[in-house]
Every structure is written in structure tokens, then in C-alpha cells.
Amino acid sequence: MLKKPDHTTSSLSPFLTAVFLLTTAGVAGAQDAPSEETIEFFRRNCVSCHTIGGGALTGPDLKGVAERADEAWLVDFILDPKGVIDSGDPYAAELLRKARGLYMTQVPGMDRTKAEKLVDLIVSESAKERSLFAGLQISDRPLTEIDIERGRGLFMGTVPYENGAPACISCHTASGIGGLGGGRLGPDLTDAYARLEGRKALSAWLGSPPSLVMQPVFKNHALDGEEILAIVAYLKSVSESEGAAEPASVLQFVLLGFGGSALLLLLFDFLWRGRYRATRRPLIRDSKHARIGASS
Ligand code: HEC
Ligand code: HEC
């Protein structure tokens, strides 16, 4: 009679041991596991220029960085990259040279605690076989004419985005887009492909734009992998075609200016017709009342 429960326990025990081991491993790991907040911060602010184990982008691959430089140095560097480089630090000078003179930007909202947590995150991600930040998985397939066309459509806003991102043309211009060109809030993207050093770096940049202006706009409207490829294909084709963005001709401006003001005048005339009467009527009425009031 006593055999039965015994038997059950013994067949269960390897399972229980495994569960126990997994749980304790989980707990032990959780003590120094980076918080979601730090992961999200890295994703938002660093992956546009760095991978961990996915190769260099604009900045170096951060895998194993704590073996190249000590952690206190890394914290200081993340806090104030330009300051450290300009202080004449030889290791930083070498980094700058390898990055072809491009300075790492000072990340907004950075403080010492955040920087320390980021270094811990980089260390723990470096130890993984495959880091969360091994890089955007963007296909290596050859870019086609179809990509270029789609990219142009996305840029111009004639092809809608999967996640409702705004068209690039609202803030950017590029060579060959014709008309008055695009918005002026962002830079001309004609040579962005070259400036951001090609397909991989530009893709990473677009996957998570570090721009203060673009970041909030794209945060909840991320571009998907195929959209990024199409835009990269388009910007590549633009950078390879000759010439910078041709400024809209003066005549175009003048004509559009006249046309525009004529339209505006008509529009306001129309809109204010009602308003004018609506203001005048009570005035007349009031003045009548006033007169009546005065005579009585
Ligand atoms: C705009 C691109 C850019 C962004 C964004 C960026 N970095 Fe960098 N980072 C660089 C470049 C470029 C270097 C190489 C040094 C230099 O030229 O300034 C660098 C160097 C580093 C280094 C030293 C690397 C080494 O090999 O010793 C660390 C660590 C680092 N970055 C961490 C971060 C972290 C963490 C973030 C996010 C909070 C971040 N970076 C955001 C471009 C960037
Ligand atoms: C709300 C305005 C806005 C929209 C929309 C926008 N951008 Fe930007 N973008 C900017 C600004 C502003 C900058 C300059 C960096 C900064 O000041 O933040 C920039 C910078 C860039 C850069 C870096 C250029 C360089 O040479 O450093 C690239 C590439 C870029 N944008 C691509 C795009 C693409 C592709 C789209 C469409 C999917 C897009 N942007 C949509 C405002 C915008």
C-alpha cells in the first residue's frame, strides 16, 4: 500500500528537480537581469548606431566592449562622448578615427545611473550567444526596380505605410522629386545613403531613428523591414543619380504664390461672408435698441 505513493514521487522527482533547478536558475539570473526599462532605453536610443554581435553600424559593435575598455570609462564615455574624445584620451581618439570622424551623439536624458545600467546590459547581452540586439533582421536580397518604385511611393506618401507612419516628404526633400520639393524641417536626403554609410547602417537608422524629431513621430509607427528596404533602395538610387535636389524655380514660386493668394482671398471671402453679416446684424439691432432706449 505504501509503495504506490512512493512510486509516484520517484517518477515525479526528476521532473520536480528540473523545475526546481530552472526556478532557482531563473531567480539567480533575475537578480542582475537588466530591467525592461533599460532594454527599451537601449532599443530606442542605441540600436540605430550599435549592434551587440551584429557587426559595426555607424558606431562599433558593442559585443565584448567591457573587455576593450573598463566599465567606469565606458560609463564616462556614454555620459559625454565628445567630452571624453576631446580630452585627448588615446582610446577614444582611435574610436573616432575608426568611425571616420563621426562623434557619438550625447543621448538625451542620459545620467550616470542610466549609463551604468546600459553598460551592465551590454555586458550581459555580450555573454549571450545571440543578443537581443544582434541587429535588425533585414533581408540581404538584391534590391530591385520594384523596391525603388515602392520606396519612392513611400517617400512621397502615395503608398501607405503598414503602421501609419507619416510620409518622408512632409519633412524631407531629395533629388528628382520635382514640384516644390519636400519639407524643410529635416535635411535633404539625396546623399543620406552615402552619409549613413550604405544599406546596413541606413536600415538600422530607419529601424529606430535616433533623431529627436523623428523618434517621437515613428515610435508608434515603426517602419517594417520591407518598407525600410524599399526606402533604402530608393535613397540608394537617388544618391547614385547626378546632382543635388534642384531648388524649385523662382517662377514656380511666384506663380504658385499668386495662385495661392488668389485662392486664399476667395476662401476667406467665402468663409467671412456669413461672419460679417452675423457681426453686423446684432450691431444694427443693438443700435436700434439703444435709440429706442434713449427716446423712451
Ligand atoms: C548617432 C550614432 C550613435 C548613437 C545613437 C549611439 N552611439 Fe555609441 N558610438 C557611436 C560612435 C560613432 C562611437 C565611436 C566613438 C566616436 O566616434 O564617437 C560610439 C562608441 C560607443 C562606445 C564605445 C565603443 C568601444 O568600442 O569602446 C560605447 C560603449 C557606446 N558607444 C555606447 C552607446 C550607447 C549605450 C548608446 C545609447 C544610449 C549609444 N552608444 C548611442 C555612435 C553612436
Ligand atoms: C516630422 C518630420 C520628419 C519626418 C516625417 C521624417 N523625418 Fe527624417 N529627419 C527629420 C529631421 C528634423 C532630421 C534631422 C535630425 C534631427 O534634427 O532630429 C531627420 C533626419 C533624417 C535622416 C538622417 C539624415 C542625415 O544625413 O543625418 C534620415 C536618413 C531620415 N531623416 C530619413 C527619413 C525617412 C526615410 C522618412 C520617411 C519614412 C523620414 N525621415 C521622415 C524629420 C523628419
pLDDT in tens, 256-265: 555 556 555 5
Ligand lying closest to the C-alpha of residue 58: 1
Grid coordinates representing 152? 519612392
Atom of ligand 2 nearest to the CA of 185: 12
For residues 81 and 88, the answer to whether their CB atoms sit within 8 Å is no
Indicate the Cα dihedral angle 93, 99, 102, 104, nearest 10°: -80
Q: Tell me what pLDDT residue 170 has.
A: 94
268 touches 223 (CB < 8 A): no
Which three cell numbers mark 107? 543621448
- Ligand 1, closest atom to CA 101? 17
**Main-chain dihedrals φ then ψ at residue 107, nearest 5 degrees:** -75, 125
How many angstroms does the Cα of residue 60 sit away from the middle of ligand 1? 7
* b/e burial code for range 193-225 (CB count within 10 A of at least 16 → b): bebbbebbbbbbbbbbbbeeebeeebeeebbee
For the CA of 91, the nearest atom of ligand 1: 27
pLDDT digits (tens, 9 = 90+) for 25-60: 444 444 468 899 999 999 889 988 899 998 888 899
pLDDT value for 112: 97
CB 74 within 8 A of CB 119: yes
d(Cα 215, Cα 35) in Å, to the nearest integer? 22
Ligand 2 lined by 204 (C-beta under 6 Å): no
C-alpha cell recorded at residue 259: 495662385
Determine the length of the chain.
296
Q: Taking residues 238-247, what's their average pLDDT?
A: 67
Tell me which residue has its CA closest to atom 39 in ligand 1. 46
CA angle (202 as vertex; 199, 203 as ends), nearest 5: 80
